[in-house]
Structure 1
Amino acid sequence: MPPRLDMIGLVVEDLAASLAFYRRLGLDLPADADDEPHVEATLPGGLRIAFDPVSTITSFDPSWRAPTGSPRVALAFLVDTPAEVDTLHGELVAEGASSHLAPFDAPWGQRYATLHDPDGNAVDLFAPLPDR
Structure 2
Amino acid sequence: MARAVSFYKALGFRIVHGGANDAFTSFVLGTSFLNLTSETHNPVRFWGRGIVYVSDVDAFYRKAKAQGIEPQFAPRDAPWNERYFHLTDPDAHELSFARPL
| TM-score above 0.5, yes or no | yes
Matched, 1:22 2:8: yes
Q: Which residue of 2 aligns with 1:50?
A: 36
Report deviation, 1:27.
Answer: 4.0
Contact 2:54-2:60 within 8 A present in 1 as well: no
Residues 32-54 of structure 1 show CA distances to partners (whole Å, capped at 9, x for unaligned) of 72122x12327669x771321xx
TM-score w.r.t. the length of structure 2 is 0.73
Residue 20 of structure 1 aligns with an amino acid whose one-letter code is S
Structure of larger gyration radius: 1
From 100, 110, 120, the counterpart of 2:82: 110
Residue identity (%): 23
Aligned length: 97
2:24 pairs with 23, 39, 58, which one?
39
- Structure 2 unaligned segments of length 5 or more: list them: none
- TM-score, length of structure 1 as denominator length: 0.58
Distance in 1, Cα, partners of 2:34 & 2:96: 18
Distance 1:85 1:105, change over 3 A: same
Q: Which has the higher strand share?
A: 2
RMSD: 2.9
Question: Match of 1:128, as an amino acid?
Answer: P
Please list every run of 5 or more consecutive structure 1 residues that lacks an aligned counterpart in the other structure: 1-14
AA at the equivalent of 1:28: I
Report if the CA contact (8 A) 2:13-2:27 is conserved. Answer: no
SS at match of 2:71: strand
Give the aligned residue type for 1:92: A
